[in-house]
Structure 1
Amino acid sequence: MNGSPLPDGSLGIGWRREICGMVAALDGIGFCEVIAESLAAGNSGRRRRAGVTVPEELGELVARGITAVPHGVSLSLGGAEIVDDRRVAHLAECARALGSPVVSEHIAFVRAGGLEAGHLLPVPRTREALDALERNIFRASRQLDVPLAVENIAALFEWPDAEYTEAEFLQELVERTGVYLLLDIANVYANARNTSRDPLTELLRLPAERVAYCHIAGGHESGGRYIDTHVHQVPAEVLDLVAEFATGRSVPLMLERDGNYPPATELAAELNAIAAASGRAPITLRAKAIPA
């Protein structure tokens, strides 16, 4: 089960309602990613498919042949509690509605003891945590019609008494479950920088053969810590990592942006910086795009 389920060598972007017009005007993207929890009961101007309401603009993008990937944020795969079957069912319905070849979630927990964190929290890198992830990944995968990819998250701290490095932890998770990785290169950079490790060394230790696609995003330094924000431009250091990892590989690459959206020309330029770093053809912005 090696090789990505997404188009080889493709560039993608996170689909958000705030920039749906800009995304529609990009020629050359091969896929987009939509937050699964944003696809729910809808209003007028939207259409229901497979029990999920798909925004009209997203449906038009899929009709053009752009692959859409549902990206979950609430399964809590890394939690001690058994994953909620209703949340998994929603993720599966999103994939059916969009005709998606893969779905993704996070190596994280978001709730415990009935309390919601409202944030993706890092799991301790222990055998016990691997056992919980293995159980929940298998339970979720049995209810999905398509493969699951799980994302490494950014963390400002590490749990004490770790039994694995991050690379070792991810490698064993892949070996135990056969799951794909959604490799967030920006998160590798953030975690390495915040723990005084070499980002490239950490990146090249990861199981590249199981990567479904990559996230690339911006961040900034605050109080001596590097914070993955998704609202800043991708820094040169992260683009350097993209060049090292993606050049010569056909792994799909995706720009994440979740706020402080720039004009269409700047968004296209940021995508093309990723294209240039990975040796891929640039995307273009159609003339009818939202004015820059």
Structure 2
Amino acid sequence: MTIDAQHWVWNHSRTKGNPRMVLLAVADKVLDAQCETRMGTTEFIARLNTSRSVVQKAVDKALESGELVLVEAQQGSRAALYRLPFAVGYVRPAPGARGPESGPVAPEQGPGIEAPGSQQGPGIRAGSEMARGPESGPGGPGIEAPRGPESGPLNQTTPTRSESKPEGAPLADPIPANCRPLVDALTTAGVLVRWNLSTAEWFTIEALIKRTGVPALAAFAQKQATARDISYARYFLAGWKDLPPLPEPGATRPPLRAVSGGYQPWTNPADQSGYYDSL
């Protein structure tokens, strides 16, 4: 799986520079058919041999490209789980196989039918493993194999990003309906961040909304955004998790009574021995 995943990154990834190195680092560790592996920031720093800030920016760019997906966020000492979605099911070509970008295999031949290796006259050329690809050049008059798109191989098994949506089809809202109130609250407050989160992170935000409430989450994010430039909503997750939960239903604030030292929470005098004697 590792070699297949690396082959996909080398030959089909559209990333460049450090984001491409992030994909290669992940591909070097995948061992299952889902092209998933766990990696932490420290390991990324060691593999890319650069600073933490450069690694974080490169990982964010790789996630933004869609060629890297965060399946599970980091939890304590447990590293984050990443996936290469477009490398799932990809199998590198067999050694010696001639693909559509391999160029001509044999000198130009005449028209007709011809068995492999035959030196006889015209005929139809039988298909074989030495058959020309769609970009191999002119093969003389006769039946020509259909030409695929110039952007990739004819028999590509992994769907390309351009094929993910029919032309003219409306784009699906990537934000879950239960999380929309929080996104709208931040947008209205002028906190404009990118919400390219994984499914696991959306589940976490939905749980935080139920536990803490949209106003508290939005207020925390707005305060953080005024202190620094934040581009991704993922930045708020750690702080949101530390916020207190909503009060229990029916909970009320205890009444206050006047004492010499100021206002203190009211207590039942019957619970304090000697209370009336001290008055």
TM range (shorter): under 0.3
TM-score (norm 1): 0.21
> Which structure shows the bigger proportion of residues in strand conformation?
1
Higher relative contact order (CA 8 A, sep 6+): 1
